């Protein structure tokens, strides 16, 4: 397997050489450009086969070879992902995520299309530190940035930029963008399964063996499943997790806190308006919800068994103060957040 790329390369080079020499001998200008472009395509195909995901890594030299120094119309389009290694640490840009999505798109495109249509679109990436000239050539000054260079584009700056919205939904939306601009079909995105078949089989066997022992243990009734304290802990945790609105935070991908717009040094932990909440806010209120109930439960079921009167008094006092404060705090926060004016309906003569 390992030999085949090199073998292929030598074959390709050989045929290229042959065809080039042949064409040169005929000296027809039209076929000359034809051969030149087919040349470029084969070279691109070679470069593509070199990379594992099918994404060609560009540098200033390759850019000039395939883009700036070629005549239009080119027989291929290039979809270029602009990358910067030193920005990978900035998670809010999602550069790495987007790059993996981009590679997925590339590999899916190559596997879904036959050779003729697969050679009309190539997926490339380019790194900022390596090829700063190309970045300025394209006029790219912010990331993430993806550009489609169509066959007729002369000046790289005229090439089409993918909107923020087009790569927000990952490979599928990038595919839509490509399909709408190039009249090519990408086909379904082939995401690699989380586990390979071997791993699944291995895990299955382990599970089977474990199940044997587990059932045996189950019959003797001394597993962690028989420990009620664990169940209690789990139940209270699920309760805490849900009432704090953590599911909202996960589904909407809410941050834990925001930075105040007016004063960047200040952090905003509580968001006013009932339709939204921040992560930290939810967990804070969730723990207030939970702590009161837990204290009440402890007082009614554990504290009564304590024999020391003073200890009872102290614990109860603390519990009462904390509960009172927590309830007041939640009521106050709720009124502030939602703006509802909850009021009682007293008889009018009372006021």
Partner 1 sequence: MLEEDTRKLSMADGESSREATARTLRNAFGNVFSFFILLLIGILAFSIRLFSVIKYESVIHEFDPYFNYRVTQFLTKNGIYDFWNWFDDRTWYPLGRVIGGTVYPGLTLTAGTLWWLLNSLNIPLSVETVCVFTAPIFSAFASWATYLLTKEVKGTGAGLTAAVLLAMVPSYISRSVAGSYDNEAVAIFALIFTFYLYIKTLNTGSLFYATLNALAYFYMVCSWGGYTFIINLIPMHVLLCIVTGRYSSRLYIAYAPLVVLGTLLAALVPVVGFNAVMTSEHFASFLVFIIIHVVALVYHVKGNLSPRMFKVAVTLVVSVGLVVCCAMIAVLIALVASSPTKGWSGRSLSLLDPTYASKYIPIIASVSEHQPPTWPSYFMDINVLAFLVPAGIIACFLPLSDASSFVVLYIVTAVYFSGVMVRLMLVFAPAACIMSGIALSEAFNVLTRSIKFQLPGSSGISQSGDTSMNTEGEQNDIAKTEKMDETAKERPSKKNKRKEKEPVVKASIRSRIERRLLVLPLEASVIAIILLVLLGAFYVVHCVWAAAEAYSAPSIVLTTYSREGGLHVFDDFREAYAWLSHNTEVDDKVASWWDYGYQTTAMANRTVIVDNNTWNNTHIATVGTAMSSPEKAAWEIFNSLDVKYVLVVFGGLVGYPSDDINKFLWMVRIGGGVFPHIKEPDYLRDGQYRIDSQATPTMLNCLMYKLSYYRFVETDGKAFDRVRQTEIGKKYFKLTHFEEVFTTHHWMVRIYKLKPPKNRIRGKTKKSKSKASSTSSPKRSGTGKRNPWH
Long-range Cβ pairs for the range 156-159 (8 Å, 24+): 156/63, 156/67, 156/68
User: Which of 7/306 has CB closer to partner 1?
Assistant: 306
In angstroms, what is the minimal distance from the CB of 314 to partner 1?
Answer: 10
- Give, for 20, the enclosing helix (H) or strand (E): helix 3-26
Question: Residue 27, SS3?
Answer: coil
What is the nearest approach in angstroms of partner 1 to the Cβ of residue 282?
5
Strand partners, 161: 147
How far is the C-alpha of 274 from the C-alpha of 336, rounded, in Å?
A: 10
Give residue for tokens 């090439």: 159
Write the CB contacts of 243 (distance below 8 Å, at least 6 apart in sequence): 286, 289, 290
**Please, which residue, 14 or 214, has the CB nearer to partner 1?**
214
- Integer distance in angstroms from the first to the last C-alpha of the chain? 91
* DSSP of 94-129: -HHHHHHHHHHHHHHHHHHS-HHHHTTEEEEEEETT
| Sole residue written with tokens 């798109």 | 105
Count the neighbouring beta carbons within 10 Å of the beta carbon of residue 240: 18
Q: Is the peptide bond before 161 cis (omega within 30 degrees of 0)?
A: no
Cβ nearer to partner 1, comparing 22 with 327: 327
Q: What angle do CA 184, 188, 193 make, to 5 degrees?
A: 145
Minimal distance in Å, beta carbon 289 to partner 1?
5
Query: Whose Cβ is closer to partner 1: residue 35's or residue 244's?
Result: 244
SS3 252: helix
Of 15 and 338, the one with the shorter C-beta distance to partner 1 is 338
* CB closer to partner 1, 87 vs 331: 331
> Which residues are paired to 80 by β-bridges?
124, 147
Residue (33 or 168) nearer to partner 1, CB? 168
Q: DSSP readout, 184-247?
A: -------PPPSS-HHHHHHHHHHHHHHHHHHHHHHHHT-SGGG-HHHHHHHHHHHHHHHHTTHH
Q: Which is nearer to partner 1, 71 or 301 (CB)?
A: 301
We find the least distance from the C-beta atom of residue 141 to partner 1, in angstroms, to be 23
Q: Shortest distance, CB of residue 351 to partner 1, whole angstroms?
A: 15
Nearer CB in complex with partner 1: 89/224 = 224
Residue 239 C-beta: closest distance to partner 1, Å: 5
């Amino acid at each position: 397997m390992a030999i085949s790329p090199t073998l292929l390369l030598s074959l390709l080079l050989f045929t290229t050489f042959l065809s080039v020499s042949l064409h040169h001998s005929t000296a027809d200008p039209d076929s000359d450009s034809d051969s030149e472009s087919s040349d470029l395509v084969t070279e691109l195909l070679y470069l593509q086969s070199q990379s594992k995901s099918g994404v060609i890594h560009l540098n200033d030299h390759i850019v000039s070879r395939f883009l700036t120094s070629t005549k239009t119309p080119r027989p291929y389009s290039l979809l270029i992902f602009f990358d910067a290694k030193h920005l990978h640490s900035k998670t809010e840009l999602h550069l790495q995520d987007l790059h993996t999505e981009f590679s997925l798109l590339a590999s899916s495109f190559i596997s879904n299309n036959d050779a003729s249509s697969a050679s009309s679109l190539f997926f490339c990436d380019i790194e900022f530190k390596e090829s700063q000239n190309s970045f300025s050539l394209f006029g790219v000054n912010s990331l993430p940035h993806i550009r489609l260079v169509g066959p007729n584009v002369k000046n790289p700056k005229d090439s089409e930029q993918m909107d923020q919205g087009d790569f927000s939904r990952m490979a599928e939306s990038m595919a839509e963008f490509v399909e709408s601009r190039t009249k090519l079909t990408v086909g379904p995105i082939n995401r690699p399964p989380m586990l390979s078949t071997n791993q699944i089989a291995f895990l299955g066997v382990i599970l089977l063996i474990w199940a044997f022992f587990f059932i045996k243990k189950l019959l003797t009734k001394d597993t962690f499943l028989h420990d009620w304290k664990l169940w209690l802990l789990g139940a209270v945790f699920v309760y805490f997790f849900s009432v704090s609105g953590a599911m909202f935070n996960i589904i909407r991908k809410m941050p834990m806190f925001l930075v105040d717009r007016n004063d960047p040094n200040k952090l905003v932990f509580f968001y006013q308006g009932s339709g939204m909440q921040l992560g930290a806010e939810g967990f804070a209120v969730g723990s207030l919800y939970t702590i009161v109930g837990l204290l009440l439960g402890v007082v009614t079921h554990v504290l009564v068994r304590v024999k020391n009167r003073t200890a009872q008094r102290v614990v109860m006092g603390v519990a009462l103060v904390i509960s009172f404060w927590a309830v007041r705090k939640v009521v106050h926060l709720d009124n502030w957040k939602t703006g509802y004016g909850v009021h009682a309906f007293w008889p009018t003569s009372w006021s």
